[in-house]
């Protein structure tokens, strides 16, 4: 494989793993209390 192929492989893998880590972080740091949505009828 050429140098450009290795570079593309490294960049794409870094992007995918970074995005996966960011998503896990966002899910695990989300507030545990689920707020009740406002009533649609207003009462």
What is the secondary structure of 7-23 as a DSSP string? HHHHHHHHHHHHHHHHH
How far apart are the C-alpha atoms of 39 and 43, rounded to whole Å? 6
pLDDT tens across the length of the chain (43 residues): 899 999 999 999 999 999 999 999 999 998 787 777 777 666 5
Give pLDDT, residue 22.
96
DSSP 28: H
DSSP 37: P
Q: Look at the chain and count its residues.
A: 43
Whole-number Cα distances in Å, 3 to 8, 17, 21: 9, 21, 27
């Amino acid at each position: 494989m050429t140098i450009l192929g290795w570079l593309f492989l490294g960049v794409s893998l870094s992007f995918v793993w970074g995005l996966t880590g960011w998503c896990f972080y966002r899910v695990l740091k989300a507030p545990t209390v689920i707020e009740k949505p406002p009533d649609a009828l207003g009462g």
